[in-house]
Amino acid sequence: MLKGILLLYSMACIVLIAEAQTNDTTANILDELVVTATRNQNKLGNVAVPVTIVNKKTIQQSGSLRLNQILQEQTGLFLSNNFGSGVQIQGLSADYVLILIDGQPLVGRNGGVLDLSRITVNNIAKIEIVKGPSSSLYGSEAMGGVINIITDKSLANNLNASLRYGSYNTSDANISGSLQLNKFNISAFANRNGSNGYDFNKNDTGKTVQPYYSYTTQVKLEQQFSNAVKAGVLFRYYYEHQNSLYSAGNDIVSGNPTIKEYNINPYVNIRFNSKVRTAFNGYATQYESAAKEYLQHNDSLYYNDFFQQRFLRIENQTDVNISSANALTLGGGYTHERLNTNRYSGIRTNSIAYFYAQDEQHIADKLIVIAGLRYDDNAAYASRLSPKLAIQYHPVNKLRINASYGAGFKAPDYRQLYLNFTNNAAGGYTVYGANEITTTQLQQQLEQGSIISITPFGNQLQLLKPEYSKGLNIGGSYQFSKSLFGKVNFFRNDISNLITTEVIAYKSNNAPIYSYFNVNSVFTEGTELQFNYQVTKNIKAEAGYQYLVTADKDVLDQIKEGKLFGKPEGSLESVQLTRSDYGGLNGRSKHMANLKLFYDNKKWMATIRGIYASRWGVADKDGNLILNRDDEYAKGYVLLNLSSGYHFNNGLRLMAGIDNLLNYRDTQWLQQQPGISIYGSVQYSINFKNKK
């Protein structure tokens, strides 16, 4: 049924594509400016690494509210839903994707995942997505890629207000304005988002997604002191409040977990002359989550979690145009982090000093070579050198061939080192950071009888090392005609020293105790295809596809040696597994595709967006702990989202949409995806003439 609809949809697209000659073009795609790939403004066509740009118009027309929604519609991005909505890039999980707002990192990860539903898209000017290891510019965490959210700039005097209401009592209200006074400008933004949530299982206590609301506010100030000097500051504040409700034994637990987040980013930019400019950035952010939940029958405290992370940074970057064909970027900074949480025993701090350099050389107008290097001196761990080399060759203007090699790393995070956490709400399991438990301590607990057995992992506890990756991307783009643009990229990422949780012991109540280990070596490899087609002046089509293969190298070795067995569905007897039985890492779709149509005639607009993800591994059913059986996968899905709107001359804009038209739901494995949702919104903008 779903496949049928997808097929029909594709046919409709082909008909549309065949329909008419074009006026508009896709020829300027590569001229878009991108800052994230090279840390200075560069044409998309020149950066030589895989980059996706999502602009404001696309975000608005798609009717997205939160960052996870718009990212889900982009080629090669897979949204995971453990510990909030995270995004997987090139098969590397959300832990390895650095999230920036206006170039500064967001903190506050839970289980390694930064919940993207924290981020409203209403004040986003564009989103830049760099795929592949980018540690040569950004250091730890940028192993799978970097997503940089660039918020609206104050460009003119205007006021904006919008209100949206839809299924599940979901509401989203925004107000923003900006003002330019001579050489000073200020912009302000506020968002309130809330929902009653929804429930997939009426028989249990609480809803699948409990009611919540959140506020985001942001203020940007900037003063141009002279032609050479400007300075500004960005403030952002986020507050989230959720009602929690679930059963525990015969009792019911409820509470109001909250999240508070502050970001402050002052900066000074100086342009010494046409060749040299420098930027100083300060950054302070704090993320704080607090949850106190009580048993209903006697109001006693059942669950108490407090987590506060502070992150301070000073940084300078200087760009030198040595010649018209040679640009040098030099940067350095110092980061201090502090953690205070009742999950750990005490307050933890760490600091990192870093330096990076990058040189971009244009040779004979056909070749671009970008070489970069970053050195991170981590106070708690060994220092790390991350190189990058990217080459682009464009023999003719239509054709660009890119190759890049980059190294990535991710230092063990605080959780992996210092966690000391027992989850009473979910069966009483305990997780220890690698520095919090030793084999000797486990043996003592065994003698005391508080644990009943120690696993082989429990007998080899040791200090953690950083995770390393090497990534290779080879691809190209081709302008087939004025209206058709296509690009392809082949990628391979090899990750070693991967930190995973393993069971180290079992308690006397059979609940496991986990800790962290540098165990695995894995790889991810695949292909990404993207086509942009301007069908008519008013219609454009985008199609994307990613093919992804992942594997744990140790598992492959075991299969090669004939040492890995499984049980076919419906059988209890073991059979030897072959390479083709092994489905790779859990949580990865082998095939992902999207097809999007956008219609816009300045007054009317409409979109149809289809997103497909093939099955992905979720469970082990036959005791071998690897993915090898059909029933160990969650079913693949097709999401179909529609929107349409009308733009009046006076600044009023009306819009309505349906998300998940096919009402796809997976109540077990994709609970964060609501069923069919309908919304309507109204937006009003006033632009004032600038008095100059």
Partner 1 sequence: MKQLVLKIAAGVFLFSLVNASCKKDNTTQPVPPLEATSVSNIEADPALTGNHFAFFSLETNQQIALADSATTKWDIGFRGTTIITNNGNSGPGNGGAFVQTGATFSAYTTIAVDSIFKTDAAPVYAIPTGSGNGWYNYDFANNVIAPIPGRLLIIRTANGNYSKIEILSYYKDAPTAPTSTDAARYYSFQFMYQPDGTKSLK
Q: How many residues bind partner 1 (CB under 8 A)?
A: 37
Stretch of 109-117, 398-406, 490-498, 614-622 lying at the interface with partner 1 (CB under 8 A): 614-622
Q: Is 632 in the site for partner 1 (CB under 8 A)?
A: no
Q: Is 456 in the site for partner 1 (CB under 8 A)?
A: yes
* Residue 322 CB contacts under 8 Å (≥ 6 apart), including other chains: 275, 328
Q: Is 33 in the site for partner 1 (CB under 8 A)?
A: no
**In the bound complex, what is the minimum distance in angstroms from residue 456's beta carbon to partner 1?**
6
Residues pairing with 642 in the sheet? 608, 658
Considering only residues 204 to 243 of the shown chain, the ones binding partner 1 according to CB under 8 A are: none
Using the rule CB under 8 A, which residue among 573, 650, 689, 691 binds partner 1? 573
Alpha-carbon span 201 to 679, nearest angstrom: 24
Using the rule CB under 8 A, which residue among 527, 624, 671, 672 binds partner 1? 624
Which residue type occupies 471? G
605 close to 555: Cβ distance less than 8 angstroms: no
Stretch of 70-78, 168-176, 447-455, 670-678 lying at the interface with partner 1 (CB under 8 A): 447-455
Residue 404 belongs to what H/E stretch?
strand 399-410
Alpha-carbon span 574 to 432, nearest angstrom: 34
**In the bound complex, what is the minimum distance in angstroms from residue 564's beta carbon to partner 1?**
7
Considering only residues 411 to 430 of the shown chain, the ones binding partner 1 according to CB under 8 A are: 427, 429
Residues pairing with 646 in the sheet? 604, 654
**In the bound complex, what is the minimum distance in angstroms from residue 453's beta carbon to partner 1?**
3
Q: How many CA atoms lie less than 13 Å away from 680 in the CB half-sphere?
A: 2
Q: Is 563 in the site for partner 1 (CB under 8 A)?
A: yes
**In the bound complex, what is the minimum distance in angstroms from residue 569's beta carbon to partner 1?**
7
Q: How many CA atoms lie less than 13 Å away from 170 in the CB half-sphere?
A: 18
Stretch of 106-114, 290-298, 471-479, 621-629 lying at the interface with partner 1 (CB under 8 A): 621-629
Q: For partner 1, which is the closer residue by CB, 453 or 601? A: 453
* Residue 249 CB contacts under 8 Å (≥ 6 apart), including other chains: none
Stretch of 262-270, 465-473, 506-514, 602-610 lying at the interface with partner 1 (CB under 8 A): 506-514
Q: For partner 1, which is the closer residue by CB, 82 or 157? A: 82
Assigned token pair, 191: 């968002």
Q: Is 567 in the site for partner 1 (CB under 8 A)?
A: yes
Alpha helices in 25-171 (DSSP H): 56-62, 67-72, 135-138
Stretch of 204-212, 234-242, 430-438, 445-453 lying at the interface with partner 1 (CB under 8 A): 445-453
Q: Is 509 in the site for partner 1 (CB under 8 A)?
A: no
Using the rule CB under 8 A, which residue among 481, 562, 667, 688 binds partner 1? 562
**In the bound complex, what is the minimum distance in angstroms from residue 620's beta carbon to partner 1?**
6
Residue in 622, 557, 615, 553 with CA at minimum distance from that of residue 586: 615
**In the bound complex, what is the minimum distance in angstroms from residue 460's beta carbon to partner 1?**
13
Using the rule CB under 8 A, which residue among 280, 565, 599, 684 binds partner 1? 565
Q: Is 432 in the site for partner 1 (CB under 8 A)?
A: no
* Residue 528 CB contacts under 8 Å (≥ 6 apart), including other chains: 50, 75, 76, 131, 475, 488, 489, 491, 544, 545, 546, 547
Q: Is 1 in the site for partner 1 (CB under 8 A)?
A: no
189 close to 231: Cβ distance less than 8 angstroms: no
Q: Is 617 in the site for partner 1 (CB under 8 A)?
A: no
Residue in 174, 173, 240, 175 with CA at minimum distance from that of residue 213: 240
497 close to 554: Cβ distance less than 8 angstroms: no
Burial class (CB in 10 A: 0-12, 13-18, 19+), 34: buried
Stretch of 5-13, 215-223, 394-402, 556-564 lying at the interface with partner 1 (CB under 8 A): 556-564
Q: Is 669 in the site for partner 1 (CB under 8 A)?
A: no
**In the bound complex, what is the minimum distance in angstroms from residue 115's beta carbon to partner 1?**
21
Alpha-carbon span 234 to 620, nearest angstrom: 47
Draw the binding track, 459-498, toward partner 1 (x: CB under 8 A; -: no contact).
Answer: ----------------------------------------
Q: Is 570 in the site for partner 1 (CB under 8 A)?
A: yes
Q: For partner 1, which is the closer residue by CB, 327 or 559? A: 559
Q: For partner 1, which is the closer residue by CB, 23 or 453? A: 453
Q: Is 444 in the site for partner 1 (CB under 8 A)?
A: no
Q: Is 622 in the site for partner 1 (CB under 8 A)?
A: yes
Alpha-carbon span 353 to 375, nearest angstrom: 8
**In the bound complex, what is the minimum distance in angstroms from residue 516's beta carbon to partner 1?**
16
**In the bound complex, what is the minimum distance in angstroms from residue 562's beta carbon to partner 1?**
7
Using the rule CB under 8 A, which residue among 367, 399, 575, 652 binds partner 1? 575
Q: Is 453 in the site for partner 1 (CB under 8 A)?
A: yes
Stretch of 112-120, 267-275, 410-418, 569-577 lying at the interface with partner 1 (CB under 8 A): 569-577
**In the bound complex, what is the minimum distance in angstroms from residue 452's beta carbon to partner 1?**
7
Using the rule CB under 8 A, which residue among 105, 566, 583, 657 binds partner 1? 566
527 close to 489: Cβ distance less than 8 angstroms: yes
Using the rule CB under 8 A, which residue among 12, 367, 452, 654 binds partner 1? 452
Q: Are strands 633-634 and 591-600 parallel, antiparallel or unpaired?
A: unpaired
**In the bound complex, what is the minimum distance in angstroms from residue 500's beta carbon to partner 1?**
13
Alpha-carbon span 373 to 144, nearest angstrom: 17
**In the bound complex, what is the minimum distance in angstroms from residue 410's beta carbon to partner 1?**
25
Alpha-carbon span 288 to 466, nearest angstrom: 26
Residue in 334, 554, 518 with CA at minimum distance from that of residue 416: 518
Assigned token pair, 567: 């049980």
In this structure, how many other beta carbons lie within 10 angstroms of the beta carbon of residue 430? 19
Which residue type occupies 311? F
In this structure, how many other beta carbons lie within 10 angstroms of the beta carbon of residue 416? 24
Q: Is 620 in the site for partner 1 (CB under 8 A)?
A: yes
Alpha-carbon span 311 to 413, nearest angstrom: 13
**In the bound complex, what is the minimum distance in angstroms from residue 68's beta carbon to partner 1?**
23
Q: For partner 1, which is the closer residue by CB, 328 or 511? A: 511
In this structure, how many other beta carbons lie within 10 angstroms of the beta carbon of residue 55? 14
Task: For residue 279, give Cα distances in angstroms to 38, 283, 331.
Answer: 15, 13, 9
514 close to 545: Cβ distance less than 8 angstroms: no
Using the rule CB under 8 A, which residue among 460, 631, 667, 688 binds partner 1? 631
**In the bound complex, what is the minimum distance in angstroms from residue 581's beta carbon to partner 1?**
11
354 close to 337: Cβ distance less than 8 angstroms: no
Residue 14 belongs to what H/E stretch?
helix 2-19
In this structure, how many other beta carbons lie within 10 angstroms of the beta carbon of residue 506? 17
Draw the binding track, 323-352, toward partner 1 (x: CB under 8 A; -: no contact).
Answer: ------------------------------
Using the rule CB under 8 A, which residue among 268, 474, 503, 529 binds partner 1? 503
Q: Which residues bind partner 1 (CB under 8 A)?
A: 427, 429, 446, 452-456, 503, 505-506, 510-512, 561-567, 569-576, 619-625, 631
